[in-house]
Amino acid sequence: ALGRPGATSHGAIEQAAFRLFGVHGFAGTTLDMIAAEVGVGRRTLFRYYRSKNDIPWGRFDRTLEGFRATLAASPEDLPVDEAVHRAVLE
């Protein structure tokens, strides 16, 4: 195909990857398969994720940052188990 590959999003890549992981397993799914499923080139995937492992785990740090912020904002007198439960739900 000529021209620039189409744009995509983290969400579109994740949905396609998890669909393929469900069918072929993590080890049996290649970046080329994910790229084809999304309709972009392999190089485009690398703009979003550095590796296949980063698709399920790469943005986990952002989730942890939000979790920490939610815990830090919890009332001091809230029991720890309740604070953690609320943070997980949020």
Whether 69 and 31 share a structural domain: no
Q: What's the domain range around 67? A: 59-90
Question: Are 4 and 37 in a shared domain?
Answer: yes
Contact 28, 35 (CB under 8 A): no
Q: What is the pLDDT of residue 6?
A: 58
pLDDT of res. 2:
46
Residues 63 and 40 in one domain: no
- The residues near 35 (Cβ < 8 Å, ≥ 6 apart) are 41, 42, 44, 45
- Pair (76, 41) in one structural domain: no
Per-residue model confidence as pLDDT tens for the chain (90 residues): 444 545 688 889 999 999 999 999 999 999 999 999 999 999 999 999 988 988 988 777 777 888 888 889 999 999 999 988 888 888
Q: What confidence score (pLDDT) does residue 1 get?
A: 45
pLDDT at 88: 80
Does 63 lie in the same domain as 50? no
What would the two tokens of residue 8 be?
């995509």
Residues 21 and 8 in one domain: yes
Cα 90 → chain centroid: 17
Report the number of distinct structural domains present in the chain: 2
Please tell me whether residues 9 and 52 are part of one structural domain: yes
